[in-house]
Structure 1
Amino acid sequence: MGKIKKRNLGVFAVFSLCLGAVAGAVVWTLLRIMDLGIRLVWEIIPAHLGSPIWYTFAACLAGGLVIGLWQKKFGILPESLEVVMGQLKTEGTYPYDQLYVLAVSALLPLIFGGSLGPEAGLTGIIVGLCCWIGDRLKYKGAEVRELANAGIAATLGVIFNAPFMGIANNFENRDWDDDLEAPKEQIERKRAKALVYVAAVIGGLWAMRGLGKLFGGSMGIPRFDRDVDITLNDWKWFLVFAAASVIGGMFYLLMNRITLALGKKMIKHRVISCLLAGVFLAAMGTFLPWTMFSGEHQMGELMGIWKEQGFEILFLTAIGKLLLTNLCVNLGWRGGNIFPIIFAGACMGYALALLSGAEPVFTVAVCVSAICGYIMRKPLTVIAVLLLCFPVTVIVPMAAAAYGGSLVPMLKIFSEK
């Protein structure tokens, strides 16, 4: 933002507001298509066939075949949110010549039940669209990068229904020119970026909610509406809950290393790799249905019937979700990991609430925050995602767990070589 002149900042912010609205409309459209596709594959067709017991395997294998053939023709897409932002940061742009390919690549795994979130594919589409607009307007360098970052802020804010998430995520990503500027210049640039990102998020949420009211459809993590009173009995379990969640995060990263190695060995065999992912998805989904899909809609169901599930089902669902997300991503069913990790953390929290007798909302808030903080290493972003999901009374333990989880050292075995 440093190269954008101050006199143009207001115009740039207004343009970001409009761009955010466009991003919100695009995200709403793609999520609407996803919902219709899921309804067709998982409700209409099985109902027409009489809901046979073999249908989950048939649908997941069909999905694996379609995804594999698509990747064989167009490549392994979509890229992760980190890769998209990294390329934008280093190259100052992102490819936009085949956005329709990216859209189909993002939707297919979600429609066929992949244990994935939509943020990776949708972010890549919006970033590509922003870069295309920037090139048409002859923006260069910092302007294109910040335009795309504004699009990311709007997209993440819309997907998670968390207005501050995209803003926090962008600010926790260190800029390449931070070391080249004086502290005063850094402060001025960050203020300018904040204005632009806020404008983009407002535009995105306005478009998403407007279209949702007119035509239906929404996204975001369900809210724990009831206020809770946290007692000393709850706080005495805090370190236990946080430690268990960090261990869960370590399991996730270990499974990522193992499944990534498997995926690399099969990288030239797209159809077989994606079919294998479909087999794992169907097998686990048959015995633990909540391990399928992103977890966003299932979270609402979980809030209502968690006591009926028992510790074993909740714990196995949490572990299975962490494993299955890695299997999907690294074997070819590409997508995001934030929604699945949040859902896994919630299952773990409810399981520990059954064991300990602690306040369940407190337990879930601590577990979700700690596991997300450890895996993402961005505590401010974690807090921004969860801020509107939990009552005000659990903000302190939520923030403590997120920051505490992010401070636990990352073992070298989890790092890519």
Structure 2
Amino acid sequence: MSPDAPSSPTASSSPEPAPSAAPAPSARTLLPLVIPSLVVGVAAALLLLGVSALARMLQDVLWGTLPHALGIGAYSSLWMIVMLTATGLAAGLVVRQVYGHAGPDPATTGLVDRPMSPGVLPGLLVVTTLALAGGVSLGPENPITAANIALTYWLGRKAAPAAPEALWIPLAAAGTIGALFGTPVAAALILTETFAGRPGPGSLWDKLFGPLVAAGAGGLTRVLIDHPAFDLDLPAYPGTTWSDLLAALVIAPVAAALGMAAVYALPFAHTAFTRLRHPVLALTAGGLVLGLLGALGGRQTLFKGLDEVKTLAAHPGDWSAGSFALMSVVKLAALTIATACGFRGGRIFPALFAGVSLGLCAHALVPAVPATLAVVCGALGVLLAVTRQGWLSLFTAAVLAADPNVLPLLCVATLPAWLLVTGRPLMQLRPNGTALR
């Protein structure tokens, strides 16, 4: 054969076929997600509303009926210390005795984690209700999200075994977050950071289609039943000035630094309570410390903080700059202690209270700084440090004012605050007690 003649193709010289890419989602593939997403969203909201309603009724008994019957001031220092210590004892007994011990150590968990065993959930929901009613400085978001993820994952795999296992976690998380904030926007922002970077076909909106349906269903269910409101009815913001820009660039990083102090304190506090080697001892001691902190900071520093922050914003003249600063520090200390000693709960709403208090402190110190600007920048900084969720922090701070004029300054203030917190430890620990990064 002539060297110039083409050789016959062989197996070794044939090009390998290119791997076929997974087809992008279409309306035909996305539509079947609508019904399960709606069901998950509504169910997630109903669980949140049920636990919150039960906690509210128990709170009325513990902080109203009972002290009144005993002739004790409901929010006297003595009653705060007694009630929070008793709450720690009750929560510790539940954690010690129930199946699954109410889930893993809360200091090692985040907002969206792998599904727990369904058998753990009764104990988890009981200790969450006790913490919410007893005045512990934690919100419902982490345990309720964990419960909804566990239930959705377990029931979803039974109802649709052919569906991908990874489908159920984002649906449950989105439905819960949508219900917590009364809007799917917060869920979309969190899931953008949590899930959107994962490989898979389709655009960002394709990946978020099911979770957005679940978040919308959860948010609408909460709005129609409970009518939540995050707007603090702050004074209208008159518009940006150079001095406002300077204030925003100072307040947000200072708030972030205060939040980071709590982050750095968590491993040390956790180690101290771990040395007690028994959940009843650890939670009772934690409850006692929380009661002492409540006596120091006042009744506004108790509970998750969402209702209390509205009181601060409605009557800022009732407190001095020093009082606002004290409440901010006490709230972050209480959040750290509650997480370290084993109370089940979330960190978003207590961090929000601490940030708003710090913002009101800045306004009281320098009245020329608009209260609205100071509040949203303070909330932004502390939330960035505690949650390390940029979009969530920006969204939550923005809805406090419901004024689009503060958005440009908030976006700019995010940058120095983010530089302060990025790459540093998270407010979450590894099982060995060291901080995650």
Q: Quick one: which of 82, 85, 102 aligns to 1:58?
A: 82
Answer whether contact 1:277 1:327 (CA < 8 A) is retained: yes
Alignment correspondent of 1:149:
170
Unmatched segments (≥5 aa) in structure 1: 213-217
Q: Which amino acid aligns with 2:166?
A: R
Structural mapping, 1:204-223, within 5 Å:
204-212=218-226, 218-219=227-228, 221-223=230-232
Q: Which amino acid aligns with 1:126?
A: N
Alignment correspondent of 2:186:
165
Q: 1:96 to 1:260 in 2, by over 3 A?
A: same
Alignment correspondent of 1:41:
62
> Once the two structures are aligned, what percentage of the paired residues are identical?
19
Q: 1:252 to 1:48 in 2, by over 3 A?
A: same
**Does the residue aligned with 1:47 lie in a helix, a strand or coil?**
helix
Q: CA deviation at 1:246?
A: 2.0
Q: CA deviation at 1:76?
A: 5.0
Counterparts of 1:412 and 1:48, CA distance in 2: 47
Of 385-394 and 407-416, the range deviating more from structure 2: 407-416
TM-score, scaled relative to structure 1? 0.88
Q: 1:413 to 1:164 in 2, by over 3 A?
A: closer
Alignment correspondent of 2:12:
none
**Does the residue aligned with 1:237 lie in a helix, a strand or coil?**
helix
Structural mapping, 1:12-411, within 5 Å:
12-52=33-73, 53=76, 54-74=78-98, 75-77=101-103, 80=106, 83=109, 87-88=113-114, 93-139=115-161, 143-174=164-195, 177-178=198-199, 185=201, 188-212=202-226, 218-219=227-228, 221-224=230-233, 226-230=235-239, 231-266=241-276, 268-289=277-298, 290-357=300-367, 358-390=369-401, 391-408=403-420, 409-411=422-424
Q: 1:33 to 1:219 in 2, by over 3 A?
A: farther
Q: 1:287 to 1:271 in 2, by over 3 A?
A: same
Q: 1:380 to 1:278 in 2, by over 3 A?
A: same
Counterparts of 1:264 and 1:400, CA distance in 2: 41
Q: CA deviation at 1:295?
A: 0.6
Q: CA deviation at 1:293?
A: 0.7
Which has the larger helix fraction? Answer: 1
Counterparts of 1:252 and 1:404, CA distance in 2: 19
- Give the CA RMSD over aligned residues: 2.5
Alignment correspondent of 1:215:
none
Q: 1:38 to 1:109 in 2, by over 3 A?
A: same
Answer whether contact 1:245 1:368 (CA < 8 A) is retained: yes
Q: CA deviation at 1:171?
A: 1.3
Counterparts of 1:81 and 1:196, CA distance in 2: 30
Q: 1:84 to 1:328 in 2, by over 3 A?
A: closer
Q: CA deviation at 1:103?
A: 1.2
Of 99-108 and 323-332, the range deviating more from structure 2: 99-108
The structure with the larger Rg is: 2
Of 318-327 and 55-64, the range deviating more from structure 2: 55-64
Q: Deviations over 1:149-173 (max 9, x none)?
A: 1221121121123431112111101
Counterparts of 2:167 and 2:94, CA distance in 1: 32
Counterparts of 1:176 and 1:41, CA distance in 2: 45
Answer whether contact 2:44 2:148 (CA < 8 A) is retained: yes
Q: CA deviation at 1:85?
A: 6.0
Q: 1:239 to 1:120 in 2, by over 3 A?
A: same
Q: Which amino acid aligns with 1:303?
A: A
